[in-house]
Structure 1
Amino acid sequence: MRAVTPPSVPERVSPAAADDRTQLLPGAPREIERLLALGAVAGGLAHDFNNVLLAIQGFAGLAKVVLQAGGGNERVLSYLDEIGIAGERAQFLVQQLSALARGRPLRLDAGACQAVADEVVAACTANFGAALTFSIDVDERLPALAIDRSHLHRVWFNLARNACEATQHTGKVLLSARRPGLVEAAVCASCRATFAGDFVRLAVSDEGLGIAAAIRDRVCEPFFSNNRRSGHGLGLTAVHALVHLSGGHLQIVDRPGGGTEVVVFLPLADEDAAGAGADG
């Protein structure tokens, strides 16, 4: 059985510390209090859920030991291995939730985009079949980004899954990432805010049917899906949440000749953004 290190319990926030944190958050005092309360609840849930995961993994490990002692069924043993792997992934997500509750800054190290893109393509190939052709175009000189690695994986995977469904699991899907320079007065497709600044541009493009203008304003709404057979309507909602958590924005672009490109603009990590400003 794999050894598991549980994430630490979220720190309690004193009233004085909470007052200091409210100075860093824009918005009405009542909204700020609600966000801080949600952070405290998320931290507590992460701790409790981690205890549940420990029990699941512990008993799965014991079941494997007992089964092996009795000669074991290889198929059942493989199922128990999968339970252990899934439990480890869930614990990693719990650790991320705990970190968010404590307000730790999100960061993806420079050069890590290529590795995440490779992981996403491998997962999509395994899940959506070999009839699709995946391509990756990632600039090797990208700086550190203000997003967690697991969050970027989920963003790219959700966008790639949507692209696979749009192409009906045939055709080409491209994952790209580059630094286009300063973005000026662009409008976010999900929050409708105007944004500008130094971003890294990540995108997933496909050769599918595109997104009709009549529903484009709704694609990030929870449970809205244009795919009646397999869509659950949460993919772009999750993308919206994770991207905006990092201070980023979205755009949806029609490709010439058909298809769609969903673009994510992610800000640089604090030290890289400061360095870029000093150089300018």
Structure 2
Amino acid sequence: MPRERITESFTRAGLNLIQQALSIYDADLRLAVSNRPFQEMFGLPERLVSPGAGFEDTIRYLVESGEYGAVDDVDDFVRTRVEQARAFQPHYMERTRANGRTISVEGSPLPDGGWVTVYTDITPAKRQEALLRARSEELSDQLLSHAEELSRTNRQLEATIAQLQEAKAALGELEARTRTVTEMTPAHIAHVDADGYYTFTNRRLSSLLPGRQSDIVGRSFAEALGADTAAMLQPKLAAAADGTPTLTEFTDPSSGRRIRTAFTPDERGEGGVYLLSTDVTQETQARAALEQTHKREMAAQLTSGLAHDFANLLTIILGLQTQLEKMPLPDGAKDLTAATRLAVRRGGRLLDKIADMTGAREVRPAPVVIDDFLASFEPLARATLPGSVTLDLQNALSHKALMLDAGSVQDGLLNLVLNARDAMEGKGAITVSLRDVKGTWLEIRVTDTGPGFSDAALDSALNPFFTTKGQDGSGLGLTMVYDLVKLAGGTVQIGNTEGGAQVLLRLPLRPVTDETQPRLILLVDDVDEIRTQVREDLIGLGHRVLEAASAEEALALADLPGLDWVLSDIRLGAVDGVALLTDIAAHHPHLHLALMTSLPASDPLRMTGARRWPVLDKPVDPGALHALMTQEVAA
């Protein structure tokens, strides 16, 4: 803290310890300094004891609050006092206030203008003087001595009380500041006493664990967290209570959120434990996705060489079979060579699936309208089902759109629907339901009315090459679903219900914000192939696209209602993209505008456009498109 701030703090604290009220006004009749007794003596609001408060406003407030008793003409009274203040003279006076108390007022001018005034409550002294005058002949010297001693004691007591009040005020300010800081911290901070009851909380528990209460002071550990979560954490709490600091991570059973909690012993000798809990769900999701990526990379390294050699062997076998089939063979041999050829092809398909699993794969989330996603998924899924199998899609999400890799999710769901169809042997019902789990997870539940998973499948269904379909299955279907979900930072659970099998997918819930809502975009480019490529990228990001092949078409379409964006190439022929956007901006200032070009950064036309709008380099990357729109709209 600067020395001036320290000096100012000490000065103010010292003035507040003075029993008399004090005020200093400058030559412009503006308050420069006052102490707390000045505010308390006259009951002034904060605005009138803040530096810069006007003397006239203060006098008017005192008159209207009855400080001077009944005043016939308030304006005249205030004007007179202000005029006296402007022609200030040193003075000392005593006056009785409307509340019956007597104060002395002592004012002195300052060298540079303005004045300082000290107000002293002399009511006790006046009463004592009156009493002494009335009964002076009856009082002995001893009584007078005791009165003087009592007066001194009272003054000392008043000084002590003033000091305590100042210390209390400073402590209150510190406590308020500490409370504000802890409540702003994006974590739950709490203290549990030796008996397991909360004695402090920063009221952030409900933001970490939905469904819990925020004000939990006085509640037990189990009551505040819930029986299941408390039972899981009780050993950690007990260890910290015994003096061993502990850090742990756990998954909340009700919300699925991942929480990291530090248990720190209370070393003040009072027993109990301090708790610091943070939500690490997104960190855990990212960590799971990274771990899956590393696993895939390792699997790719291990299998690439083997797959290459295996493919060579299959090629050799296939070549030998071809030669054998050209030779005269005994009866039944051709059936064996045909079976060998089928086995080779099956091995080739298996290699393709292994390549798909271990090859490079990147999750590309984009805005997806859930109803549109289900509407496009339903005909694909129904096309694989016989008429004796029903498909029911249920959407219980409150969010209209989410950030998803729609292709990966669609592939995974189709795989699960096909598995369910095969398990039911072509007859039954399949249900796909979507719901929000505590604002943390998108839960996709696929159930069927088949026989359910066997015990062996429950143990091994997610392992590569495990299958219950015999020669008809590769054992990679559920493994691929697991891989897709883990790459997105999610989880997969399999189990049985009373009516059949169930697969539960949980993906990180990423609601589409205003910045990523699907938008209507006017795309302008005079090259059909480029326009097609950019249009497909925009549609892949969840947006709707109108196309124009010239500046004239673009100007006509720019008047359409509901348009959000115009993305134009710079070179359009007679009218360039910069001139086009300039015209559109003049008539439609609400539209978001951007350019795309293959011109170098030093090109004058590009530099002119870049001064006003974002410019994308061709070929345009979908990630750059998404980043451009979110950044531009957020700005």
TM normalised by structure 2 equals 0.24
User: Is 1:120 aligned to residue 377 of structure 2?
Assistant: yes
Alignment-mate amino acid for residue 504 of structure 2? V
Partner residue, 1:261: 502
Does the aligned pair in 2 maintain the 1:240–1:250 contact within 8 Å?
yes
Inter-partner Cα distance in structure 1 for 2:421 and 2:512: 36
1:165 to 400, 408, 422: 422
Q: Which residue does 2:367 correspond to in 1?
A: 109
**2:407 partner letter:** S
The corresponding residue for 1:142 is 399
Q: How does 1:10-159 map to 2 (within 5 A)?
A: 35=297, 100=362, 106-112=364-370, 114-142=371-399, 145=402, 147-159=404-416
Matched, 1:211 2:460: no
Deviation of the 1:163 alpha carbon: 0.8
Cα deviation for residue 216 of structure 1 reads: 1.1
8 Å Cα contact 1:135/1:174 also seen in 2? yes
- Please state how far the C-alpha of 1:145 moved relative to its aligned partner: 4.5
Distance change >3 Å, CA 225–CA 107, structure 1 → 2: same
CA distance in 1, matches of 2:379, 2:296: 39
* Residue type of the alignment partner of 1:136: L
Is 2:473 the partner of 1:231?
yes
Matched residue, 2:10 = none
Amino acid at match of 2:372: A
Tell me by how many angstroms 1:253 deviates. 2.9
User: Greater relative contact order (Cα 8 A, min sep 6): structure 1 or 2?
Assistant: 1
Q: How far off its partner does 1:199 sit?
A: 0.4
Hey, what's the Cα distance between the residues in 2 that align with 1:26 and 1:153? 21
Could you tell me which amino acid in structure 1 is paired with residue 501 of structure 2? T
Are the equivalent residues in 1 in contact too, given 2:288–2:489 (CA < 8 A)?
A: no
After TM superposition, give the deviation of residue 271 of structure 1 in Å: 7.4
Q: Deviations over 1:86-129 (max 9, x none)?
A: xxxxxxxx9xx8882xxxx63242533x3333333322322232
Letter in 1 for 2:492: L
Question: Structure 2: how far apart are the matches of 1:268 and 1:229?
Answer: 38
Equivalence for 1:177: 434
Contact 2:289 2:489 in 1 (8 A): no
2:446 maps to amino acid = V
Asked if the contact 1:25/1:32 (under 8 Å) is kept, the reply is no
2:509 aligned partner, one-letter code = L
Greater Cα radius of gyration, structure 1 or 2: 2
Q: Cα distance 1:33–1:243, how it changes in 2: closer, same or farther (>3 A)?
A: closer
Change (3 A) 1:98 1:219: closer
Change (3 A) 1:246 1:25: closer
